[in-house]
Amino acid sequence: MTTAMVAVYFEVAETVINNLLSRHREELEANGLRVLRGAELQKFKELTLSSCRESYPQPRSGMALWPRRAVLNVAMLLRDSEVARQVRTYLLDMEYMARTAPVDNSAYSPADSLDGHIDRSITHILGTAVVPMFNALIENSGEHRKELIALRQDIQRVERRLCHHHTRLRRLEGPRKDRPLAGVMAAIDAMNGSEFEEHIAGLLRRDGCTDVVVRGGHGDRGVDITGRTPDGRPVVVQCKRFAPHNSVTSPDVQKFLGAAKVLHKADVALYVATCPFTRDALNISAEGGVTAVHRGLLEAWSAGTALNALG
């Protein structure tokens, strides 16, 4: 959009937009605003403005081009524009909806995946904000009517593709016998530490363990969960809810190994993490009799696959 188009959209004088540009140039440029000058401006004039010299004022020293993000930035800065107030209200409503939307922490609910939520949010924004904005611009910007109509059609095609993609995503995320349920790790990543420990305790009980007790917190003596395997052997578990890009290191495993074997005299020791293990950590685990339940193994276990160490 040009500065004139932005002014038309917000129903203010062009000088108001120019004053905003002067006062908040750095912020607007960070959000995509671009000012054409020199040869770049001349080329733009030749390609875009040559057919409308009489109806469109020809820029002399420079021309500002506003992407959608910069236009929304203007809505945050304008005080005396009813359109800007409506845009701000809409953005605040969207932030509230995103912040207060209920989160399903169940590891067995693929329908509400992160990708699906993003698809629905983008589709909603396109249909209720972007397309109406183009409609208003088309009505008030005759010199670029064809280009704006083409852009609106492109956006509407994207909206239709997102709807189609969301339908396919729900179908693909459905349970199948040959793979774990999709969305398992997304649900686990959304848990806090206590919820994660309870989730692991639930998996132990599901697989036949008894006397399962969550001991996470102060005074846990180096383990988070204790219990007994289905055949009665003592089992201890360390739960680490790390970011997926982190890794469990050798010192982490060594510390747990001492607590599991010396303090608790456990026959089965599980180190369960939402991230990978380093090679040294895996070697220490194997040598010390600790089962390293890494992110991939945790996903399969949560989706129903039995853990061999408990058999």
**Which CATH number applies to 191-310: 3.40.1350.10, 3.30.565.60, 3.40.50.80, 3.30.1280.10?**
3.40.1350.10
Are 279 and 248 in contact by the 8 Å Cβ rule? The answer is no
The tokens describing 189, both together, are 């990543």
CA distances from 24 to 2, 253, 288, 311 (A): 17, 52, 61, 65
Closest CA to 179 of 304, 294, 272, 293: 304
Q: β-strands 34-36, 63-65: how paired?
A: antiparallel
Distances (CA, A) of 148 to 11, 115, 129, 130, 197: 18, 29, 15, 12, 54
Tokens linked to 46: 């030749």
pLDDT at 147: 72
Q: Which of these, 294, 303, 288, lies nearest to 258 by C-alpha position?
A: 288
The series of mean pLDDT values per 10 residues for the chain, 311 residues long, is 89 91 90 87 72 51 87 88 84 67 45 50 62 64 67 73 68 50 76 91 93 76 88 93 90 90 89 94 93 92 89 79
Report how far Cα 185 is from the mean position of its chain's Cα atoms: 14
- Distance separating alpha carbons of residues 130 and 159, to the nearest angstrom: 11
Residues in the chain: 311
Report whether 2 contacts 14 (CB < 8 A): no
pLDDT of residue 134: 62
Radius of gyration, alpha carbons of the chain: 29
**What is residue 292's predicted lDDT score, i.e. its pLDDT?**
95
Q: Is the pTM of this model over 0.85?
A: no
